[in-house]
Structure 1
Amino acid sequence: MTSELLGQALVEEATKKSGLIWVRGPAGPARALWHVWHDGAACLVGDGPGEQPLPALTAGADAEVTVRSKDKGGRLVSWTARVVEPAPGSPAWEAAVAELKGKRLNAPDGEAMTERWARECRVLRLEPTGARSPLPDGSLAQAPLPSPATTRQPAPAALPRLLLKRRGRGGGRP
């Protein structure tokens, strides 16, 4: 009994403090997703324009959640969750959205985002089932998923000259 309570406390505290969780649905690779912890579950919003993808997460299915340390980035705990999708406008949906909207950064539509979430997105609750997975001994590193996003483009030809000019003006940082 005590180990169950300690396990629940570990899942809750680690998930609350972590900004990202890694979630693997019944099929496909794990994805890093932002979330909030509310009322005993990790709450997510996504699958709409401008929001994170929530692939392979279907209501009633199980998902594996891996939580990392906010300080060191290492895995702390892996737990099994039941995916629940509250109906838009229901008390559970409203409570989850109230928490999520406070943590959503750079929303394109500001206060109107909750109406957009009700129309175009999915709000999910990942409720712990009580089962925890043992942490693996080795690395789980994988190649990045295909994406249209880019991280590197050629530097403009004038950039080195602009950077050197800025440093030479005194008063700037070295």
Structure 2
Amino acid sequence: MTSAVVEEALKKAALAWVSVGDGPALGVWCMPLDGSLIMVSGPGEQHAPGLAEASTATVRLRGDNGGLIVVAEMTVTRLARDGDDWAEVAPQLAQKRLNASGTFGELVTRWAADGCAIVRLTPSDHDTTAPHLPATSGAAAPRDTPARVETKRPFRLHRVRKS
């Protein structure tokens, strides 16, 4: 995998599947910014257990057609609430937050007051891997069921005359 693929996937990312350690991959919304992903988690926001305290995370990104194209190990950096990065990034992230109540400034203030974590995920120097996809579809066979839907006779608008 080239870094160009990772960069392109990062630019188009609005949702990423993030797993910390051996935990399950959770779908979290994110904002691409300068070759990294910015995410918020905490009270009243999305649930990403252990992400704010972790040093690395595995991130899965999809391509244009919705399929998985990149699995990358990324470095996790938590932004300090009183730092310059927070002041610059938090308002941009608040603008991308859908269905939030209040203004962008009120949302950023609430994130700081509630102890929400804003993290930056940056691709690390480790090799990025292409996902190992099976050759089969992976679809399960239909289950047997006693339920049956009877089909009706076709509807006819006009009476059909026999010749």
TM-score normalised to the size of structure 2? 0.74
Q: Does 1:61 align with 2:76?
A: no
Distance 2:13 2:113 in 1: 28
1:134 aligns with 2:130: yes
Bigger mean CA offset, 55-64 vs 86-95: 55-64
1:57 aligned counterpart, secondary structure? coil
- For 1:41 and 1:106, locate their aligned partners in 2 and report how far apart those are by CA, in whole Å: 24
Query: C-alpha deviations, 1:52-99, integer Å up to 9, x for none?
Result: 111121445210011012x32101111111111011031112222132
Q: Pick the structure with greater CA Rg.
A: 2
Q: Deviations over 1:126-170 (max 9, x none)?
A: 11103212311238x8xxxxxxxxxxxxxxxxxxxxxxxxxxxxx
One-letter amino acid of the counterpart of residue 33, structure 2:
H
Query: Which residue is 2:7 aligned to?
Result: 12
Residues 2-61 of structure 1 show CA distances to partners (whole Å, capped at 9, x for unaligned) of x7xxx2322122122122111011131001111111133100011121x11111214452
Change (3 A) 1:67 1:79: same
8 Å CA contact 2:40–2:119 kept in 1: the answer is: yes
Contact kept in structure 1, 2:52 and 2:117, CA below 8 Å: no
Query: Structure 1 residues 8 and 98 mapped into 2: Cα distance closer, same or farther (>3 Å)?
Result: farther
Instruction: Work out whether 1:77 is the aligned partner of 2:73.
Output: no
**Structure 2 residue ranges without an equivalent (≥5):** 139-163
* Greater percentage in helix: 1
- Output one character per residue of 1:94-136: Cα deviation in whole Å (capped at 9) or x when no partner: 2221321121111023230000111221100111103212311
Could you list the runs of 5+ residues in structure 1 that have no partner in the other structure? 142-174
The residue type equivalent to 2:59 in the other structure is V
RMSD: 2.0
Distance 1:59 1:84, change over 3 A: farther
Q: How many residues align?
A: 133
Equivalence for 1:123: 118
CA distance in 2, matches of 1:46, 1:58: 8
TM normalised by structure 1 equals 0.69
